[in-house]
């Protein structure tokens, strides 16, 4: 995750000193996001208000153990603004994430270039036609989780010999292009519109599952948690080389 900026670092330092005004600033900045998440979990507004208040009280009590290695909030970057990208952006915003999406804008989502999305995102979703994967910025994605939604379509992408002869997969191509990123394949077997209509709370009967593949266990765990927030279970297909099954 990205480190906090100067303003957030100062806020954290004030919180550690038990500055009550800093606590009020923290609540103003994050209360809406936390309340929205809790309300979706509990379904009861009064209970959600009580739990949200308790969350901030516990944060204030435990802030001294916060190591300050990451921001207090997570930004999702989306490179590509097609059907999947727009629906993922909607889900991310609905779950309290900041969003930077190339070629689009909306509540809590700001427009930017592919480079802007790559720089700003703590987690970045690449949802461009496969033929354009070499245009994805490399340096700003170093060390970050990158979710690849690509599917190979020769009529659109042209023929790619390495995929045609089955010596590699779409996500392995992207991983080769982004050698220090943690690529996870996902969102490849669901219609875009279903992303915002098929999600269900954890434990629901017949909850839909989405398949992922990747070589980094921690990255896959993060994506699994993210998908759970969006209302989906996860099936791990294994390493990126198994991504062709999705």
pLDDT tens figures, 190-216: 888 898 889 888 888 899 999 999 999
pLDDT band at 65 (very low <50, low <70, confident <90, very high): low
Share of the chain above pLDDT 70, in %: 87
Say what the pTM is: 0.72
Q: Name the packing angle between helices 20-42 and 6-16 (round to 10°).
A: 100
Q: What is the pLDDT of residues 165-186, one digit of tens each?
A: 888 899 999 999 999 999 999 9
pLDDT at 106: 46
Tokens linked to 235 = 């099936």
Tokens linked to 172 = 């392995």
Q: What is the pLDDT of residues 95-124, one digit of tens each?
A: 767 788 875 444 445 667 888 889 888 899
Residues 153 and 147: their CA atoms lie apart, in Å, by 19
CA distances from 58 to 63, 65, 77 (A): 8, 12, 29
Tokens linked to 84 = 């999947």
Residues 223 and 17: their CA atoms lie apart, in Å, by 34
Residues 230 and 190: their CA atoms lie apart, in Å, by 13
Q: Which one is predicted more confidently, 18 or 217?
A: 217
pLDDT at 71: 61
pLDDT at 237: 93
HSE value, Cβ hemisphere, 13 Å, CA-based, for 241: 2
Residue-range domains of the chain with CATH: 6-65 (1.10.1740.10), 75-245 (3.40.50.720)
Q: What is the mean pLDDT of residues 47-67?
A: 75
pLDDT at 125: 94
Q: Are 75 and 2 in contact (CB under 8 A)?
A: yes
Q: Is residue 67 predicted with pLDDT exceeding 60?
A: no
């Amino acid at each position: 995750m990205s480190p906090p900026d100067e303003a957030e670092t100062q806020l954290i330092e004030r919180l550690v000193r038990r500055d009550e005004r800093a606590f009020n600033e923290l609540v103003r900045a994050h209360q809406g996001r936390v309340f929205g998440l809790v309300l979706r979990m509990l379904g009861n507004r009064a209970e959600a208000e009580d739990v949200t208040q308790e969350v901030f009280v516990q944060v204030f009590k435990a802030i001294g153990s916060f190591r300050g290695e990451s921001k207090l909030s997570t930004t999702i970057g989306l490179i590509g603004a097609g059907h999947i990208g727009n629906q993922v952006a909607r889900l991310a915003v609905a779950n309290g994430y900041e969003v930077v999406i190339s070629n689009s804008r909306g509540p809590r989502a700001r427009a930017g270039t592919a480079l802007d999305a790559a720089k700003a995102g703590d987690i970045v979703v690449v949802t461009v036609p496969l033929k354009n994967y070499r245009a994805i910025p490399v340096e700003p994605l170093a060390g970050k989780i990158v979710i690849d939604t690509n599917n190979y379509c020769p009529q659109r992408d042209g023929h790619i010999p390495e995929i045609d002869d089955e010596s590699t997969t779409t996500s392995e191509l992207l991983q080769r292009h982004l050698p220090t990123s943690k690529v996870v394949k996902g969102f490849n077997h669901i219609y875009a519109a279903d992303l915002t209509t098929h999600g269900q709370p954890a434990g629901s009967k017949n909850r839909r599952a989405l398949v992922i593949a990747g070589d980094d266990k921690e990255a896959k765990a993060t994506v699994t948690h993210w998908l759970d927030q969006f209302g989906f279970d996860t099936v791990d297909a294994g390493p990126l080389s198994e991504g062709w099954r999705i």
